[in-house]
Chain A
Amino acid sequence: MTVTATIRIQEADFDVAQEIAGLSKGRTDVGAVVSFSGICRGSEQGEPIAALTLEHYPGMAEAEISRHADEALSRWPLQGLTIIHRFGRIAPGENIVLVVTASAHRQAAFEAAEFLMDYLKTNAPFWKREESARGTNWIEARDHDDAAAARWTKS
């Protein structure tokens, strides 16, 4: 059976439990579901923030995430995959991103979820701007995110 990833780029919030159930409910072939939720922190570099605003590149965001989803499906034996990334203004404590992987065994589900998050961080065309008492600032990319993505490159 061909597994198709569900990919959504949306402004609205999502329900993590519902998305997990969507990959496992009523199935007997799924032995492991891993979910990663990225949540907006209330501080950045030790300073409190009021909110994040995520800008994205419509069209490319879907295309880029689809390419990485296809790679994950080709590298690990997944039974299901859901990726959701929000854009717009997001307050501390709210969801930003969700990756859910389903597989027969845990290792594939864990690894594929980690691979996808590492690539989303450095390759999905989204940019975070923080709002704080000092004004608004674009958040800078971090070198350790590049290093995290690079370790999945096939040698």
Chain B
Amino acid sequence: MKLKYFAWVRERIGKAEETVEPPAEVRTVADLIGWLTARDDAYAYAFEKPTVIRAAIDHAHVKQDAAIIGAREIAFFPPMTGG
């Protein structure tokens, strides 16, 4: 699946997107955040306050308990400040 990062989440991780293949036990958005956090310090820094992080699956907002099975694109970003 493709992952995309925006705003300060993108800056902290140091890339705008990447393709990952998490193991089968990574079932939800929250699991995915935990799996990424364990990879290295950049992800740990980006996700240091996981409750602040918003997520979208295939261009629709989801909660962190959402299942990621079948997702093509998952995005992580801070609360939105448009308008």
Contact = CB atoms under 8 A, between A and B. Distances in A.
Chain B: number of interface residues, binned into ranges:
10 to 19
B65 to A, nearest CB: 19
A126 B81 contact: yes
Interface residues of A, number: 28
B81 to A, nearest CB: 5
A60 B81 contact: no
Contacts, number: 72
A124 B6 contact: no
Interface string B56-70: 100111000000000
A57 B82 contact: no
Nearest to A125: B80
Contacts of B83: 38, 85, 96-97, 117, 120-121, 124, 126, 145
A57 B81 contact: no
Q: Which 4 A-B pairs have the closest CB atoms?
A: A126-B82, A141-B79, A127-B7, A121-B83
Interface of A: 38, 54-57, 59-60, 63-64, 85, 96-97, 117, 120-129, 138-141, 145
15 contacts: A55-B6, A55-B7, A57-B56, A57-B77, A63-B59, A96-B83, A120-B83, A121-B81, A124-B83, A125-B82, A127-B6, A127-B81, A127-B82, A139-B81, A145-B83
